[in-house]
Amino acid sequence: MSADIIIKALVALLPLSPATSDEIETHLEAEHMTTNIYADYEGPTMEEEIESVDTPYPIIKNVGAFNVEVGDEFDELEGVYAVDSNDGDVTDSITITDGSVDTSSPGTYYLTYRAEASNGGWYNITRTVTVSDQPTDEYPMIPPTEAELSGEVASDEDGTEDGDGELLSQDATGNIEFVGVDDETINVGQEFDLFEGVEVYDAEGNQIPNNLVYTTGTVNNEEPGDYTIGYSAFDEDGEVAAVARVITVQ
């Protein structure tokens, strides 16, 4: 059974029914976008971008001209990154030192970006942003690391590291955050607990107890195959969030 079908079935079994089919489709699309974020990526890796820097100061990239449709939201930093020959990825150092964009008013706006490296080197660049009646441009993508591209480690969208540096699978769906719901492979006869390593948090970071997290699907650990398990919970506004994982018995 596909993840899409099992999540829809799960929501149908919940004790409340505030979620429409459109809302569930939105959650599913967000989950698939997270899972396949680099599926068709053909550009350079972050390591290659860092290696290409031959200046004593960092370089800011993906700051080409950008169009925003009137009334749309605009994130000045989305897709923008900076690399330095010594410090590597210095995206976190980027600030906007001048300019702003009023997306309610058509016109041409200018933003000045600045990045700094630990050796004191810095770099400024100005970006042109146009607000018009044309559709908003697609945000550029920050290059993945070689590990992210190969699937050896999850990207920021896919996961987070715990205190010991161990990567945990994570799905942030609306105001509910699911941690540890990555696919898993077990051996025939091996015990499997639906909630082992799984944690669910609300918008304030409070852990939601397991008895308020609804599941569907079972795993027959005596029969090889792929088993899809769905997890769902409600946030404080009654909005449903659902994710699915595949457990492979081999």
- According to the model, what pLDDT value does residue 98 have? 94
Residue 7 sits in the same domain as residue 127: no
Residue 21 sits in the same domain as residue 50: no
- According to the model, what pLDDT value does residue 238 have? 67
Residue 64 sits in the same domain as residue 120: yes
Residue 122 sits in the same domain as residue 173: no
| 10 belongs to a structural domain | yes
Residue 53 sits in the same domain as residue 31: no
Buried b (16+ CB within 10 A) or exposed e, 133-147: eeebbeebebbbeee
Residue 54 sits in the same domain as residue 149: no
Domain span holding position 51? 46-132
- According to the model, what pLDDT value does residue 153 have? 55
Q: What's the token pair of residue 111?
A: 């933003």
Domain end marker among 100, 132, 164:
132
| 95 belongs to a structural domain | yes
- According to the model, what pLDDT value does residue 160 have? 40
203-213 confidence digits (pLDDT tens): 778 888 888 88
- According to the model, what pLDDT value does residue 13 have? 43
158-184 confidence digits (pLDDT tens): 444 443 433 333 444 557 888 988 889
Nearest to 211 by CA among 234, 228, 229: 234
d(Cα 142, Cα 94) in Å, to the nearest integer? 14
- pLDDT < 50 positions in the chain: 1-3, 5-7, 9, 11-25, 27-28, 30-35, 157-172
| DSSP character at residue 13 | H
Residue 21 sits in the same domain as residue 71: no
Question: What CATH number has the domain bearing residue 126?
Answer: 2.60.40.10
Domain end marker among 77, 102, 132:
132
| 223 belongs to a structural domain | yes
- According to the model, what pLDDT value does residue 243 have? 82
| 236 belongs to a structural domain | yes
- According to the model, what pLDDT value does residue 231 have? 83
What sections of the chain are H helices per DSSP? 3-13, 21-35, 46-51, 146-150
Counting the structural domains of the chain, the total is: 2
Domain end marker among 132, 161, 190:
132
d(Cα 151, Cα 102) in Å, to the nearest integer? 39
